[in-house]
Each structure stands twice: as structure tokens, then as C-alpha cells.
Amino acid sequence: MAELQEVQITEEKPLLPGQTPEAAKTHSVETPYGSVTFTVYGTPKPKRPAIFTYHDVGLNYKSCFQPLFQFGDMQEIIQNFVRVHVDAPGMEEGAPVFPLGYQYPSLDQLADMIPCILQYLNFSTIIGVGVGAGAYILSRYALNHPDTVEGLVLINIDPNAKGWMDWAAHKLTGLTSSVAEMILGHLFSQEELSRNSELIQKYRNIITHAPNLENIELYWNSYNNRRDLNFERGGDITLKCPVMLVVGDQAPHEDAVMADSGGQPQLTQPGKLTEAFKYFLQGMGYMASSCMTRLSRSRTASLTSAASIDGNRSRSRTLSQSSESGTLSSGPPGHTMEVSC
Ligand code: BEZ
């Protein structure tokens, strides 16, 4: 009998007819650490935070977030919020290569650029959505400016600095691999990379042929030189807002394979992520279930066993409280929701 092969299916549910992406406007602002570009979709909604995204290394806001934000079911959510998508310096489309010797901002400095963006837009609070390096940057921003962050969605965050073992492994890999391959190894699992699906081919092509690869390498270096976020369970350094922690079960450092997504769940499982995000927002008191017409009706228990859902209590602790390593925690009145997809 022919051997059964596991096939990874990427969820696809494009915009419905009549659903058109909202107009986008791209801006740049000067900050003490150089200029930063960001793109705003939609219009500000009274008494609502902006959804504010920060992408991972090797990507920009579009290659990181377009599949999620243009997912059909996501429209019902995002139409209620203005969205601000940051491109890390030198990652915006058409960015010129930085001159040799340019000092790229550290992740902490990238976080310190965010107040300039919010001031420029006159936005007072955000719900941050970050992946990898972007999740770290938004967490650092939230630690420094807790009153301006209403919630955080952190996808594949590593809050710790590289230890000496990580450095040794990194140096060894660097002897035989290109920067592009190392970044692909950060974004995707070895299994995904060797399976070489269409998605991997697409992202390998984007990164290997990026005209700004030198800039990408600078962001990569800043990521590798990050310091510990130093979260402490019950300690002084905690995120004060509700947090939705997401781990792709094929994320390079995630061993427990529980579901069917990849290292980048926002690319491969936009449906699951949309649904988890909906419950997260409901838990924060946004998106009353009566507003959730199409999404609520199409509820399919599609979240994985690792995701606990209890979205109807307003601003209360709803789900399992911390990550397994115990390094991320939020004290009352925040809540932490963990999703593996
Ligand atoms: C948005 O609607 O927010 C969006 C659209 C395209 C790419 C990324 C985000």
C-alpha cells in the first residue's frame, strides 16, 4: 500500500466579492534613531485603540501581515479599528541600502521610535500585534509605556537574549550558511524548509533576492544582540495588559507538535488566528458577540486543543496565565491567552 504522506494545507479564504481592501496611506517620521515608515489602513474609530503591527526579521509589514489582515473573516474585526503597520527601518518597499558603517538601531531603540509614530498620528492607545523580533519590540514598548498598550498579540516571541550556547550554534551555522538561509531557519522549521512547499519557495525567493538584503542583515544582527526582556512572574517587570501568546507548532524552537500550522501561523493559519484574535478582543470588552455575525455563525471549534477560550469576561484573567517557561506573565488586571497553531 502506498505510504500516506502528511500534506500541509495553507488556509485560504480571500476577501469576498464586494470586500475591497481599505485605502492605505504610507508616512515617514523622523525619530532620534532615524526615520521610520509606516502604513495606515482605515480611519480612526472613536474610543478605540489602533491595531499596531510590527513584523519579524526578513519580512516587511506586507509579507508578514497581508495574508492575515486580508483573510476574509478578519474583515469583520478590522473594520472596527484603524491599523498602523510599521516597517522596520530599511525594510520598506524600495528602501535604499544603508551606507557602509550605518549604525542600525537596537531592538530597544526600535521600540523607542514608536512614540514618535503615535504622536504624529495623535493616537493614544494601541493593541500591538508582533511576530518574532516585532513581538519583542512591542513588548519592550509596552514595558516602557504600559498606559498606552491595551493588549498585545505576541507571535513566536523569544524574550531572552541569546545565551552562549545559542551564540556558538549561531557562529557555527554562519560558517556554512548564508544570511538568507539563517533568517529562513529563524522563520521556519527545518521540516518546513526541507518540504519546500510553495509558501517556503515564495519566502525563500523574497529573502534571497531582496534588494535590501544588507539592511535585513542589520535588523537580524540587532535581533541577535537583543537583551533579556526580564519578565518576572509576579515581579515588578510584567506586561500590564492582556496578552495573547501564539506559538506556531512548527516554529523553529517549538518541539511539541500539537496542530497543523507552521513556523509563521499568521501566514499558514490565518483562520485560526482570526478566531483566537476575535475571542481576545471580546475578552477585552471589544467586539460584543452580537456584532460578530458571520464569524460567530461560522464558529467551527477550529482552535487547537492548546487554546483555551473564555472570551466573555471583560478585562479579567481568562486563560492560562503564563508561557510554559514561565518567563512571560501578566498580573491583574491583564490576562494571558495561549494559542498554539
Ligand atoms: C490591513 O487592512 O490592515 C492590511 C491590508 C494589507 C496588508 C496588511 C494590512
CA of residue 66 to ligand 1 center, whole Å: 5
Q: Is the CB of 85 under 6 A from ligand 1?
A: yes
- Per residue in 219-274, pLDDT (tens digit) is 999 999 999 998 877 778 899 999 999 998 777 765 433 444 458 999 999 999 99
The pLDDT assigned to 69 comes to: 98
Q: Round to whole Å and give the CA distance between 53 and 228.
A: 21
With beta carbons less than 8 A apart as the criterion, state whether 195 and 7 touch: no
Atom 4 of ligand 1, nearest CA residue: 69
Q: Which has more pLDDT, 115 or 23?
A: 115
Residue 191 lies in a domain: yes
Residue 231 lies in a domain: yes
Residue 336 CB partners (closer than 8 Å, separation 6+): 242, 243, 244, 245, 317, 319, 320, 321, 322, 323, 328, 329, 330
Residue 168 lies in a domain: yes
Domains in the chain, number:
1
With beta carbons less than 8 A apart as the criterion, state whether 128 and 241 touch: no
Find the Cα–Cα–Cα–Cα dihedral 133, 333, 74, 130, rounded to 10°.
0
CATH code, domain carrying 245? 3.40.50.1820
With beta carbons less than 8 A apart as the criterion, state whether 134 and 64 touch: yes
- Per residue in 196-226, pLDDT (tens digit) is 999 999 999 999 999 999 999 999 999 999 9
Residue 305 lies in a domain: no
Q: Give ∠ CA 95-159-268 in degrees, rounded to 5.
A: 60
167 — pLDDT class (breaks 50, 70, 90) = confident
Q: Which has more pLDDT, 36 or 174?
A: 36
CA of residue 141 to ligand 1 center, whole Å: 22
Q: Is the CB of 78 under 6 A from ligand 1?
A: yes
Residue 303 lies in a domain: no
CA of residue 225 to ligand 1 center, whole Å: 30
Mutate-to-test residue for ligand 1 from 59, 66, 71, 74, highest number of ligand atoms within 8 A of CB? 66
Buried-state track 209-233, b at ≥16 Cβ within 10 A, e below 16: ebebbebbbbbbebbbebeebebee
What is the crossing angle of helices 133-144 and 213-224, to 10°?
A: 60
Residue 338 lies in a domain: no
Range of the domain at 231: 24-284
Residue 113 lies in a domain: yes
CA of residue 165 to ligand 1 center, whole Å: 38
